[in-house]
Structure formats: structure tokens, C-alpha cells
Amino acid sequence: MSQSTIESILQEERLFSPSTEFSQTAHIKSLEDYQRLYQQAKADPEKFWAELAEQELHWFQKWDTVLDWQPPFGKWFVNGKLNISYNCLDRHLTTWRKNKAAIIWEGEPGDSRTITYAQLHREVCQFANVLKQLGVKKGDRVGVYMPMVPEAAIAMLACARIGAPHSVIFGGFSAEALRDRLIDAEAKVVITADGGWRKDAIVPLKPQIDKALANGAVPSVQNVVVVKRTAQDIHMEPGRDNWWHDLQQQASPDCPAEPMDSEDMLFILYTSGSTGKPKGVVHTTGGYNLYSHITTKWIFDLQDTDVYWCTADVGWITGHSYIVYGPLSNGATTLMYEGAPRKSNPGCFWDVVEKYGVTIFYTAPTAIRAFIKMGDHLPKARNLSSLRLLGSVGEPINPEAWMWYHKVIGGERCPIVDTWWQTETGGVMITPLPGATQTKPGSATFPFPGIIADVVNLDGDTVGENEGGYLVVRHPWPGMLRTVYGNPERFRTTYWEHIPPKDGKYLYFAGDGARKDNDGYFWIMGRVDDVLNISGHRLGTMEVESALVSHPAVAEAAVVGKPDEIKGEEIVAFIILEGNCQPSEELSKELKKHVTQEIGAIARPSEIRFSDALPKTRSGKIMRRILRSLAAGEEVSGDTSTLEDKSVLDKLRGEG
Ligand code: WT7
């Protein structure tokens, strides 16, 4: 975050209250309601979660223990049996929702589909049978590498229905990144499409699958199922690849939901950390179902008439919890949009809001800042009066962007929920409740009931008011990750031992810096580890560095974030070349392309700086703080006494 943003946040005193009209019909109607729930949950968390689990979900068999906590390993609703696809589909069919729109889908070229709960149920059952025919059994992992089409949600729900954990891999990841994830998850089947539409062009997906699977690189994969979306020519490998529509047509629509154990794995989702390869975050059935359900209901204040639109991609946790599982479990209408604002129609988002009468709109600060730049005339030319609630997620929202969102999109009548959470948390953790909370632009406000969040120092002690510290959670919650797939040690050390446990008390370490103000509002300050946030997407500096050094010309690489007006951060890479390689514009381009190939376009450095040394401590650790200042064009301030070779600084500044 830039200095000016931090200053404006420190001075932020504006308070925005929900209208009486909004509060009256809201699930949580007042601050007192919120505080009562919060206190109840704090006093007896197990009772609080058990009552909700009972009220809000369908169980084939009730649990016998609410929480089994063997820190840092937790089990929720032990021995309970349920199926999240049943909770998202079957249970609505016996109500008036049977013919309600479950998914409204709008494709970028302007095609659209509306799928009712009954139709979605049928499609999911058929595809679940397709998976069974392909030999997928309970516990087998299924890769999903899809554009934003309804089949992505159908595939996820079909996996859940038969108990096969899915691992959705964002369609913007390269073949290399895709291969790594499929290998780690040992996927048996991969669901994909020929391509998808984005910014007036086709993103080819199937060729990436072919490249990832070439030469038996992922031996676990036996079959690929391909949705026809863009209809360009693609290769179909005989004996391995099948068209979705061929298999789906022949499949029976009869497939009862498998009773899953509450702690059976529901999905793996890969996310970046500060060290090593991306981690497979594991979520399980019961706790995740409850947590994604109740956070969607209360935070987005879902009512039966809402048309709810979350603009994320299903390849990220936001898509899992707040496009697919949370809204469908609540019987809501969830809108899926395939494309992105683009040259041919920069106002496409507002067209979608107007066309479908969207009432709840959830997007990221990076998108909001891009909208601001595109100009007020775009939203102002559309009728946005259907909107009643706005949401933000992915990074801290700067107060200027918040105010614009409030005025220009929300017409000063819509509450804004700034939701802080992570892939690991399964659902939103710190957020306003829109009918109850007075908001301050830039603050995620208060913890969700049942979440005991705090700001602490490295000893785990609470820091003072307005003092910066580390954001932690002090008590387990149903949506928490259960482990890192295949690596419980990494789970333990990354999240639970970063702040050493005291007297058997474990703190969940989020990796974010935060402070609490005089009124108890949380202000999230961004990552405190070597994780970048590029347009709300998480990337480890080490991942990008490994990609760079895998290029033969690169001897050493150090990657830092540089503040960017739209993306929040952009990537600057400092490169030391191998012996006889010379810096050039060509090589710079080639290295950017190389990173795109190794990881994906989101990891592409916006700047490459060649250097003959990097600032290091005497123990050899790269001093990123210095590189960050250099990248941002700021004076290198603070202590440089640990820097081994001081002349490096002058060289990097170009003065040496
Ligand atoms: C990181 C998690 C789960 C949401 C999508 C990203 C940052 C997320 C906020 C917010 C400030 C935020 C944090 C967090 N973040 N939401 N409202 N205010 N920061 O999920 O890829 O797991 O990234 O995103 O730094 O640790 P993710």
C-alpha cells in the first residue's frame, strides 16, 4: 500500500450507516443483533455452530461431536453424514424453488442461459454418472480446468455428489503450472473445454491440457472430458479424450447423493505461499458447507428475490464459496459471467446488471479502480437502480475507490461489505454485516460471529489500539483448512507455529498485517510475508523467482512488488545474468514470456531490471525491503547496516 493510502486510512473518520429500509428486512438487523450473536458464539462456540448446522443444513445422519480439536488439527461435526450437492440442489426441489433460476449465465459474445434448480440437479446427476462410468470413485481426485461456463459448476457439484474431491485450476494458469497441480493432486480425470471467451478473444484451454499431459507426464490422468464452448479445431486424443456432450447425452439422470462423512475431503485448491511450491489447501464437507452457507446468507443478506453476482472466477476460492456453494446452498440465483470488460464493450458489467436486475454485486478493488479509470459515463449510461448491496474482496480497498463505489455504483444507497478472508479460511472472516454495521471506507470492520480475530506481536500478545501487528485467529472455525494436501508438516509450520503456541494455545497466522482502531474496527494492511497481491491474486515471490532462474540466461533473480494504481501491485524482477549473457530489450521480453509460460500471464513481470549484484545480508539473505524501495523509485530508508556490500546500492540505482 502506498504511503498516501496509509495516511488517508489513518485519517478516515467517515461512518456510513445502513438505511432503516435495508436493516428492517435484513437477516441481521442491528449492531445489537450482531453483538448478541458474536457474544453467544464467543461464550459457547460449539453450541453456536451446532445450532446453525442443525437449522441450515440437511444431514443424512447427525454428528456426535461438534468439534474435535487436536491442535492444529480440527474435525467438525464428527461422524455426521451429509452431501453438499444435496444441500445445494435436492433439498430445493421439494420447495417452490424447484423452477427458480439457480444459475443465470451470460457469455461474453452475448449468448446466455438460465438453468433452474430442477435442470441443474438433472445435469449434475447425469455428469456424476459420467464420472462414475469413467471409473471415478469416492476419494479419487478430479481436475477442473475450465472457462466461466455453467459446466464448471456442474462438474464441481457432480464431483461432490459422488465424493470425488475436485481440484479446480484457474484457466489462466499455464500448462506447466497445470501439470504441477495435477501431479500433486494425482488427478484421475480432468474436465476442461476447448476454450473460453475473454476480452474479445478465445483463451485456448485444451492445448494447455495436451501440453501438460504430454509424454505421460501425469500418469494418474486416465481421461479428459472436453466441453465444446468456442468450437475451434482442437486435438482429441483417442482413448483419453471425450466430448462432454457425447457422454452427458447417454448418462442416466438418476444419481442419489452419496452420504459423505463430515470430514471427507471436498476439494483441494492450490494457493501460493512465501516458500516452495503452491500448497494444496484441503477443505472438507460439513464444516465448509456450513461456513460458506451461513457467511453467504448473513453477509450478502440473501433474500428470495435477489439476483446475486460475484465476478470472481471459479478457479479461485471466491468462486468456490461465493459463486457456487454458498449461493446454491441458500437456494439463491447466482449469476455467472464469462468475460471481462474489454475494448468492444468496456461497460459490459453494467449491461449485465441492467439486463438481469442484479441486486447484489461482489467484486475486487482492482476492478473498481479499473472502472474508475474507464470513466463514470459507462455506469451512468445504465440503469443500476436494482442494486441494493455491494461487496469487495481480494485486497485492501483504498478509501477513494470505496467512495467511488459507494456513490457511482451504489447510488449512495447500497451498503458495502469489505470482506477479508483467504483460500485457507474457506469463507469470509472479517466483514460488515450490511444491515447492522456502520462502515468506514477502507476497513473490513468486525469479525463474523464465531471468529475470534486479533492483532498480535510475534509472541502472540495482543498489541495496543492502533498499533500494527499480525492478524491471527484464536479459535478454530468450521470453514478452516484441514491440512495442506500431502504435507501436514507444512500446514503446521506455515499457519500454526509461525507464532509459537503457548500453553497448548495455537494461533492461526494469516500472513497479513493489521491494526485495530479505537472503535475496534480492523484495518488490513496487506501481506507481511513474501507473497504478492497482483490484482487480488496471490503469488509467491519465490515461485516467480524459480520460474526466472529456470531460464538458461538467468543466474539469480529477486522479485518484489511495486505499487500500481490499478493492480495494487505489479512485479519487478531484478536479474543477474549468467557469465556471458548481455542485458537487452529482447532478453527482457523473453524473460517475461518465459514466466508467462511457466506460471501464467498473472505472474508476468511488468519490469525486468538487470544488475550485477543484489543487496544481501552477511548471511546471504536478499534484502527485499531495499529492492522494494528501489523498484518504487523511493529513497532507500531504514537500516542498511546489515547490507554486506554497500556499493551494490549505488549500482542498483545506476550510480555505480
Ligand atoms: C489474501 C488472501 C479470499 C479472497 C480472495 C483472495 C488479501 C483478501 C481482503 C480484504 C484486505 C484482503 C489478504 C489475504 N485480502 N481480502 N477485504 N482486505 N486484504 O484469496 O488468494 O487466498 O488471498 O488476500 O492479503 O491474506 P487468496
d(CA 179, CA 187): 10
Instruction: Give the ligand 1 atom nearest the CA of 397.
Output: 18
Å from CA of 190 to ligand 1 middle: 28
CB 577 within 8 A of CB 555: yes
The three-point CA angle 90-95-101 to 5° equals: 75
343-to-334, 347, 429 alpha-carbon distances in Å? 26, 9, 36
Q: What angle do CA 157, 256, 314 make, to 5 degrees?
A: 0
Looking at ligand 1, which residue's alpha carbon is closest to its atom 10?
A: 420
* Residue 435, all three cell numbers: 444491515
And the C-alpha cell for 297? Answer: 446468507
What does the angle CA 382 – CA 303 – CA 296 come to, to the nearest 5 degrees?
95
Give the three cell numbers for residue 162.
459422488
d(CA 394, ligand 1 centre) in Å: 4
Closest Cα to atom 2 of ligand 1: 422
Relative to beta strand 537-540, strand 522-527 is unpaired
> Max Cα separation, the chain?
75
- Looking only at the bridges linking them, the beta strands covering 389-393 and 416-419 are parallel
**DSSP for 314-338, written as a single string:** TTSHHHIIIIIIHHHHTT-EEEEE-
Among 67, 435, 467, 437, residue whose Cα is nearest residue 287? 67
DSSP result, 382-408:
S--TT--EEEEESSPPPHHHHHHIIII
Indicate the Cα dihedral angle 130, 132, 138, 142, nearest 10°. Answer: -40
C-alpha cell of 37? 450473536
**Given strand 112-116, what is the order of strands in its sheet?**
112-116, 101-106, 333-337, 307-310, 360-363, 389-393, 416-419
Sheet holding 508-516, edge to edge: 453-456, 469-473, 508-516, 522-527
For residue 444, the ligand 1 atom closest to its alpha carbon is: 17
| Regions of the chain with pLDDT less than 50 | 656
Q: CA dihedral defined by 51, 56, 60, 65, rounded to 10 degrees?
A: -30
Pocket test residue of 279, 366, 422, 484 for ligand 1, highest count of atoms within 8 A of CB: 422
Rounded to a whole number of angstroms, the distance between the first and last alpha carbons of the chain is 30
Residue nearest to atom 14 of ligand 1 (CA): 422
- Predicted pLDDT of residue 656: 45
Q: Return d(Cα 366, Cα 630) in angstroms, integer.
A: 24
**Three-state secondary structure of 514-564:** EEECCCCCEEEEEECCCEEEECCEEEEHHHHHHHHHCCCCEEEEEEEEEEE
Residue 25, judged by CB atoms within 10 A of its CB (0-12, 13-18, 19+), counts as exposed
CA distances from 616 to 316, 559, 612 (A): 35, 14, 13
List pLDDT tens digits, range 529-573.
999 999 999 999 999 999 999 999 999 999 999 999 999 999 999
Question: Which three three-digit cell numbers place residue 169?
Answer: 485450476
Name residue 73's beta-bridge partners.
70
- Residues present in the chain in total: 656
Give the per-residue pLDDT at 646. 77
Distance of CA 589 from the midpoint of ligand 1 (Å): 30
Ligand 1: residues with CB < 6 A are 271, 317-318, 393-396, 418-423, 444, 510-512, 524, 526-527, 533, 536, 538
Bridge partners, 115 (sequence order) = 103
Ligand 1 midpoint to CA 370 (Å) = 18
Per the CB < 8 A criterion, the answer to whether 162 and 120 are in contact is no
Q: How many whole angstroms from 585 Cα to the centroid of ligand 1?
A: 34
Pairing between β-strand 101-106 and β-strand 333-337 as defined by DSSP bridges: parallel
Report the residue among 322, 421, 567 best suited for mutation to probe ligand 1: largest number of ligand atoms under 8 A from its CB: 421
Pocket test for ligand 1, best of 512, 527, 530, 567 (most atoms within 8 A of CB): 512
